[in-house]
Structure 1
């Protein structure tokens, strides 16, 4: 999923990855920074249950286990000895000890660490006080500190650096520095994919709602990923496609904001926008349309009429904004270079929900309990167009040589069991995961919902290989 969406590297924050992940990265050509610790001797924010309880006794053993297990994986490019360590600016002796521990097992890869602000004395006196955090590193990781790249390079011209964590909404700012400066070798966004925990660290809420660093129940996942928890693309992933030159133009429509209110976007958040021109009940109301492009200009058309035209550039954050009175039909964004059409993106109003649609990632899997089939479930109209505002309870049943292992939607704040045989769609879709019983034959998934045509998909289960490949 990550490689398909343009990424070429993973940082295993903040602990070593599974062997299965590294095997997949070896096979797919993904680069990996393997990271050991999130704490050394001191806890984070009085969280006394952390690894600091074991660091003194176990750090050498755990470094050895990590490096010796993973050093033969070609995907591994660096060893990280820590992330946002509380004592990072005053524990150079520990950093050197960890460096020696890693090098005693592998001398072929550089040592790195993710360094962050201390939100205090060091960040106010960075040039005088920050250097001890970097003394034991071959490559310096900076968490949310792009403003330090150039000044640190001036003081340390030989320092190689990268963004170890960055905010999705500031992607252009971070990536411009990567492209501009040879000593900045890359950027890792937080995060590539949504995850359970740090509930709502990324959010876009209305100004009459409580704004917290972590959102309260029913939020349950972080919501900061380029991909949601099911692996579906979110708006920031499409923006990154434009940023990286994978797409020339993308278009999104912001959910309506009630009069008198504004949107509050957290540090890791993204505006609440959808790839949709289906907004029943909002006829005649002004909609905010964002067009992302690396073309010179973008023109917006609604049902064949020109709404407006604007320049786009890095100065505009590769974005053009329009206000458009909603009417059903066809919204078209055109990218122009030297006055000629170079690219376009179109959104069309969907008809009423008609049926369910099932799409499996593979038609054949092995008769192995660890081989899974991922089935995307969509609510579509008569023309097979996904309806982005559809919230439908989908029921699942499975026959044949397999079972429903789990189901989920991408929603960050509608918690539900992953194992019950039903799921409400989010933005018109959800995901079902099938697992074979170990026998050969067929697995048949049936999905149905009230008022919609049901759908089935069949997965062929073949004999498992005798040797893992």
Structure 2
């Protein structure tokens, strides 16, 4: 099917349109997709989703576009493809309802064929209803937040996402690739048609293989043609060499080409077993993973190729080799980025099945829609070599057998294998904080309260002795249909599982930052534990305050505070506990993770002197509050705690040329050397030693007062496609050009010319400012401005202003 992107120039109104005709609804505005209308609004403490949605509301919106349908479209099939609309969307063409779609994360098609009017403009409208709140456990965004394409084809054609390729086996460098092509016959006659398949290297276009098959397609039916093609001297797709191939299929009646389509694909083999763990191309790979939600930071839910690529590249550059999509299918752009970068993906379907987690969530539609939603994203995604596992769900209450949970687990796994038998299937299981019959649930919580009192108020992973004792037996029938069982925060169950279920392959699908040392040790020591995925690697909007820090003067106050670590009142907006903040800036825990994974770097983590002597209480997903900085103006002479992360045997700390001695580090000390010293500005250096020899060092210099602004864009120009983005880091600097990490200054950003300011903000988890107004207060001396290209070439200028400092501008050509 011919594909044409139609993201440009939609008329948008807040609410449900009365007339659904451009120009007749007021007020309205023209928007280019992708578009998230919730991120344009302000947060407020009365938002019905509360901390879970980051104190944002939902809402209703209508998108309308006049589509030119040429005269020669008469007799053709015309579909519109949506990569993602959140949520409860209704698609109409010329007033006719042509499709409804509930799930906000699965792609879908709306067939326009019966209602098109060739030779004139046709009115395409989509109403999005995200008004029923709360319907998720995180920020969802609202609107047509991914791409929209118009598809056209003759009545006999290759089905949308109709090419499916997978590697059968590789022998002596020759890969045998099975290519299936699904055909659709919308005529009243049986057809005998040829499918020609060509494989070529994506990078250079060199032909790598060819196949041909004749297919009988009955009238009004679908049929699949399959060929197995030998690709000699195959370039394997791998983590460090993500080689891709392009597969083109042409449909013909031997003389005339009727239709054609293409897809990208990677030659690689995968397997899982208890002895070798996860194997990629016949070698064991431990998964160094991060869980990510679908939002793109200050852009909200809107998905752009450049933003998805940047987010994934930050992961790759910092040692991650795997990403878990939490808890839903992501955009095609994110998967393309993972293919290109060599990141392994757990592609997840659902956060809920039949039993609700939030009042208006997907559980209302699951029994009706699950099969179609699962098919749509798997068929779309199954050619991506980055996808190594399908996940049927996350922490569903049915895991202990409630509401036919065992049957549902088997049913979903079986259907996934019908769609793609080449990849393992997983599902993520936590403790039994829910999902038990009434009698057992009461026992669970009474035992939890008892354990909490006995341990001074702390509850480990919301579990107790009763929950631990029943977990394996109650979940076994649920886990049995899976190839890999996901354990969320359950490393204390590993040894029992190895004894009771010796054939089970385990993946730590969620763990907390403070536990990363222990979880990674478990990954390394157990062959059937294939990896660890931190919750989360990249910060996100919603589930606000999971990474909060609070300080108390007394142990009594601190003990009482541990009972409310999950609660974060307004103005908290972000989760706040991730390795990477909302704008893509690293937090100290990311350096610690790199060191756990084998980096020989040295990293100074300095704690603010104002908190010296106080008791820090961490949110359940927090890391101790610290900075890779030595700029505590006003606290001269105060005590300051300094941690140094290092895998070396010992670390020496040097302040202004004077050694403060050496402290042990390395694995025996959980990779942390701890110092306590008196703050004085200047230079602080940490040097790591092993065997008496210097391994690495980290040097920090105190910053002076803010005197200027620096703009650091991630590229020099934009493409005039309406989608291209520049991510410009804004830094407040002193007279020496050093970042001033304590600067919190009101900042204004403006873009003039052939581009627009798509977003402007920081990773401050408690900021109340709007990411779309161009005004924001710097946080830790930084901000991020995201500049979006228009559809016309020309010049654009980003200007940043701070009161009392000289404004600065940078030109960004749009070509």
For Structure 1 versus Structure 2, the TM-score category normalised by the shorter chain is over 0.9
Is the 2:609–2:632 contact (alpha carbons within 8 Å) kept by the matching residues of 1?
no
1:206 has 2:533 as partner: no
State yes or no: 1:42 paired with 2:355: yes
Which residue matches 2:317? 4
Q: Is the 8 A contact 1:396 1:445 kept in 2?
A: yes
Q: In the aligned structure 2, how far is the partner of 1:253 from the partner of 1:212?
A: 24
Cα-to-partner distance string for 1:250-302 (whole Å, 9 max, x where unaligned): 01111234466311012200111111111111111110001000001001111
> Which residue pairs with 1:343 in the alignment?
696
Q: Deviations over 1:87-120 (max 9, x none)?
A: 1021211100111111111111111000110043
Shift of 1:37: 1.2
Q: Which residue of structure 2 lines up, in the alignment, with residue 17 of structure 1?
A: 330
**Other-structure match for 1:467:** none
User: Which one of the candidate residues 427, 444, 450 is aligned to 1:113?
Assistant: 427
1:7 match: secondary structure: coil
- Where does residue 138 of structure 1 map in the other structure? 483
Matches within 5 A, 1:165-244: 165-207=510-552, 211-244=564-597
Deviation at 1:204, TM superposition (A): 1.2
Q: 1:355 aligns with which of 670, 689, 708?
A: 708
1:150 aligned onto 2:495: yes
What is the CA–CA distance in structure 2 between the aligned matches of 1:72 and 1:253, rounded to whole Å?
Answer: 46
Higher strand share: 2
Moved more, 206-215 or 56-65: 206-215
Instruction: Please give the residue correspondences for 1:246-285 in structure 2 after superposition, counting only pairs within 5 Å.
Output: 246-258=599-611, 261-285=614-638
Deviations 1:405-428 (A, max 9, x none): 110101000121111122110000
Partner of 1:84: 395
CA separation of 1:60/1:241 partners in 2, compared to 1, >3 Å: closer, same or farther? Answer: same
TM superposition shift of 1:459: 1.7
TM-score of the pair, normalised by structure 1: 0.95
Deviation at 1:73, TM superposition (A): 1.3
Q: For 1:421 and 1:81, how far apart are their aligned partners in 2?
A: 40
Q: Offset of 1:390 from its aligned partner?
A: 0.5
Structure number with greater Rg is: 2
CA contact under 8 A between 2:547 and 2:623: conserved in structure 1?
yes
1:99 is matched with 413
Encode CA deviations 1:294-316: one digit per residue, 9 max, x unaligned.
00100111111111211112232
1:72 to partner: Cα distance: 1.4
1:55 matched residue in structure 2: 366
Separation (CA, whole Å) in 1 of partners of 2:685 and 2:616: 25
The runs of at least 4 consecutive aligned structure 1 residues that moved more than 4 Å come to 208-211, 257-260
Secondary structure (helix, strand or coil) at the match of 1:87 reads: helix
CA distance in 1, matches of 2:640, 2:589: 19
Range with bigger deviation, 409-418 or 208-217: 208-217
Contact 2:739/2:781, CA 8 A, preserved across alignment: yes
Between 1:311-320 and 1:210-219, the stretch displaced more is 210-219
Farther off after superposition, 434-443 or 90-99: 434-443
| Structure-2 change in CA distance of 1:440 and 1:246 (3 Å) | farther
Alignment-derived partner of residue 310 in structure 2: none
Contact 1:198 1:214 in 2 (8 A): no
- SS of residue paired to 1:390: coil
Q: Which runs of 5+ in 2 are unaligned?
A: 1-313, 434-443, 445-465
Q: Say if 1:181 and 1:213 are closer, same or farther in 2 by CA, change over 3 A.
A: same
**Structure 2: how far apart are the matches of 1:386 and 1:48?**
46
For residues 699 and 385 of structure 2, the distance between their equivalents in structure 1, rounded to whole angstroms, comes to 42
Contact 1:308 1:322 in 2 (8 A): no
Q: CA deviation at 1:159?
A: 1.4
In structure 1, how many angstroms separate the alpha carbons of the residues matched to 2:472 and 2:510?
21
Pick from 57, 61, 73 the counterpart of residue 384 of structure 2.
73
What's the CA shift for 1:122?
A: 4.2
Q: Once the 2 structures are TM-superposed, how far is the Cα of residue 445 of structure 1 from its aligned partner?
A: 0.9
Change (3 A) 1:415 1:453: same
Displacement of 1:247 in angstroms is: 4.2
Q: Distance in 1 between matches of 2:802 and 2:790?
A: 26
Structure 1 Cα separation of the partners of residues 324 and 612 of structure 2: 42
Instruction: Please give the alpha-carbon distance, in whole angstroms, between the structure 2 residues aligned to 1:345 and 1:92.
Output: 53
Partner of 1:466: none
Tell which deviates more after alignment, 435-444 or 99-108: 435-444
Are the equivalent residues in 1 in contact too, given 2:602–2:688 (CA < 8 A)?
Answer: yes
Please say if residues 359 and 457 of structure 1, whose CA atoms lie closer than 8 Å, have aligned partners that are also in contact.
Answer: no
Q: CA deviation at 1:129?
A: 2.9
Partner of 2:662, secondary structure, is strand
Q: TM-score if structure 2 supplies the norm length?
A: 0.55
Q: Does 1:329 pair with 2:682?
A: yes
User: Are the aligned partners of 1:253 and 1:273 in contact in 2 as well (CA < 8 Å)?
Assistant: yes
How many pairs are equivalent?
Answer: 460
Structure 2 vs 1, CA of residues 240 and 355 (structure 1 numbering), >3 Å: closer, same or farther? same
Aligned-CA RMSD value = 1.5
> Could you tell me how far apart the structure 1 residues matched to 2:810 and 2:493 are?
53
Which stretch shifts more, 126-135 or 138-147? 126-135
